[in-house]
Chain A
Amino acid sequence: MSDIDIKRISYLAKLKLPSEKEEFYSNSLKDIIKWVDNLKKVDTSKTEPLHNVTEKTVSIRNDEVSKSNSVDDVLSNAPERAQNFFKVPKVVE
């Protein structure tokens, strides 16, 4: 099994990991992967990949507009708002 880059994973997950916990989480993740790796024991060389457990096709709707809520509804959980914008700590690329 390949090694786990715990720093990179915590970056991708946007989680701050104290350095003393890195080894613990690294090992936990390794255990999980080892367990999931059991799946590799199954021979899938002759099996088509399955994208969904049902054989059905996506359910569709017609291209019609309906409005179900107000701007205030959408902004009601925002940590901060300014006029009708969500206000978040600056993120600039």
Chain B
Amino acid sequence: MSNNWEMVIGLEVHAQLKTSSKLFSSSPNQFGSDPNENVNFIDSGMPGMLPVMNFGCIEMAIKTGYALNFNINKHSVFERKNYFYPDLPQGYQISQFEFPILSEGYINIETGDNQKKIRIERAHLEQDAGKSIHDIDPKYSFIDLNRVGTPLLEIVSYPDLSSADEVINYISSLRQLLMYIDVCDGNMQEGSLRADVNLSVRKKGQELGTRCEIKNLNSFKFIKQAIEYEFQRQINIIDGGGEIEQNTMLFDTSTGETRAMRSKEFSHDYRYFPDPDLLPVNLSQEQIDKIKPLVGELPQDKFNKYLDNYSLDKDIAKIIIAEKQNANLFEKMISESTVKPKFIAAWLVGDIFAFIKENNLEVNSLNDKTKDITDLLRLISDDVISNKAGKEILPKVLNGEGKPSELVKELGLEQVSDSGELEKVIDEALVGEEENILKFQGGSDRVLGYFVGKCLKATKGKGNPKLINKILLERLKK
């Protein structure tokens, strides 16, 4: 039984930095190009080529340092991590080892109603490797070096995580932060964010067990599956009287199982040493300070602002801050209109997000429609049209079928808010209703709803319900 067992997990998250060019070469840092299109002589490891540091990567690392509460180190050193593989033409990966650019950070994640602090040991800059394709030819591997030299920030947590859900919360929070500060596009499918999971098990309260590392997981679903499988696998071994061997594991997405990599008999000997082609990175306090303002507002800042300044409900604020593009769209609408933010927020997380989901759109794609949206919301909040009519027009506005005021006219949805006209309707509706009027006066509130409905029907749904209510009450109380 796994009841008295617990898992202890530490994560290595690799985030691809969204620079224009690579870490040490000026080749494009771009996903989806033709094979070997973005490869120059530095990337392909030609003899005599020298790496030149891209300052954009340092800048992004420093921004990450601020966002994840790191110590930003003025002195860091690039080292060579040596291993042979066809998609690593240099024969070594340039990485940071003893002196990383960031150390001792943390983020807070939510676990149920509580917050948990997850400590992060370090984050360092390194190069990504290329890609091997094994399924084109039975005897050969095909190598595409486009990804070689792509800048990665490897973020290494302490073993502070104790469930698959916590791991997913932690990676989601990291992803959210990295996207907010604009250093990573967060696209897990394209491999922009990948995680290695270090997992060990122990009986509650006992010493740490031997860990296994599951490599290269790039979706929340697989991360959860791999963790649950590996947890059970290790428990079964120990329960069966065995011992856990420290291993590097691969996760087979088709079977949902983890298995040890074949070359385990030679655990890697990377022979790190400082790269003689690259001098140490020495940053001045001025250089570091200058980058701080580029960090911008973080999700938590926005959350507090939405609650304090715009009186949003927590749940609604949480949905809006979940992704930076949501927050951007929301704030753009607020800045362009005088409609109450709370009213905008309710429509945004309601009908507008529903529309986006239904039509499989990017939130960003509505950025050029904000004026039309807020114009429509203005018509609703001013009672020119009913809430119901607003819901009817919204998809047309979002599809760019016309301006809200034109659509209202065209579809005849303008609300009747002329009290003279409504009075006439109400008077007619009350004819022959003496019995119900007496009921109301006798204390039956239900009758009011009946009358409102009757009047709305008489106006073909266009009567302003608030006004009808008000006039009706005046009439009935006489």
Per the CB 8 Å criterion, the residue count for chain B at the interface is: 56
CB-based contact A67/B280 at 8 Å: no
CB-based contact A51/B143 at 8 Å: no
Contacts of B34 in A (CB 8 A): 71, 84
CB-based contact B143/A88 at 8 Å: yes
- B214 CB, min distance to chain A CBs, angstroms: 14
**Residue of B whose beta carbon sits closest to that of A71:** B36
Contacts of A8 in B (CB 8 A): 266, 269
CB-based contact A87/B36 at 8 Å: no
**Residue of B whose beta carbon sits closest to that of A73:** B41
CB-based contact B27/A65 at 8 Å: yes
Interface SS of chain A: loop
Contacts of A83 in B (CB 8 A): 35
- B54 CB, min distance to chain A CBs, angstroms: 5
Given A65-B20, A65-B27: A82 touches B269 (CB 8 Å cut-off): no
CB-based contact A85/B26 at 8 Å: no
Q: B132-140, B193-201, B307-315: which one contacts chain A? A: B132-140
Residue B73 lies at the interface, judged by CB distance under 8 Å to chain A:
no
Given A69-B40, A92-B141: A14 touches B56 (CB 8 Å cut-off): no
CB-based contact A90/B77 at 8 Å: no
What mask results when residues 279 to 299 of chain B are scored 1 for a CB within 8 Å of chain A, else 0? 111110000000000000000
What mask results when residues 24 to 64 of chain A are scored 1 for a CB within 8 Å of chain B, else 0? 00000000000000000000000000011010111111111
Cα–Cα, bound, A68→B21 (Å): 13
- B361 CB, min distance to chain A CBs, angstroms: 30
Contacts of A82 in B (CB 8 A): 136-137, 140, 142
Given A71-B37, A74-B36: A58 touches B143 (CB 8 Å cut-off): no
A60 interface neighbour in B41, B52, B266, Cβ under 8 Å? B52
Q: A58-B280, A64-B20, A66-B21 are in contact. List 12 more A-B contacts (CB 8 A).
A: A12-B266, A12-B271, A57-B280, A58-B279, A63-B54, A71-B39, A74-B41, A75-B36, A82-B140, A88-B141, A90-B137, A90-B139
17 contacts between A and B (CB under 8 A): A8-B266, A12-B266, A52-B280, A57-B282, A57-B283, A58-B78, A58-B279, A58-B282, A60-B53, A67-B27, A82-B137, A83-B35, A84-B34, A87-B143, A90-B137, A90-B139, A93-B262
Please give the residue numbers on chain B whose beta carbons come within 8 Å of chain A beta carbons, in ascending order.
Answer: 19-21, 26-28, 34-37, 39-41, 44, 46, 52-58, 77-78, 84-86, 99, 132-134, 136-145, 250, 261-263, 266, 269, 271, 274, 276, 278-283
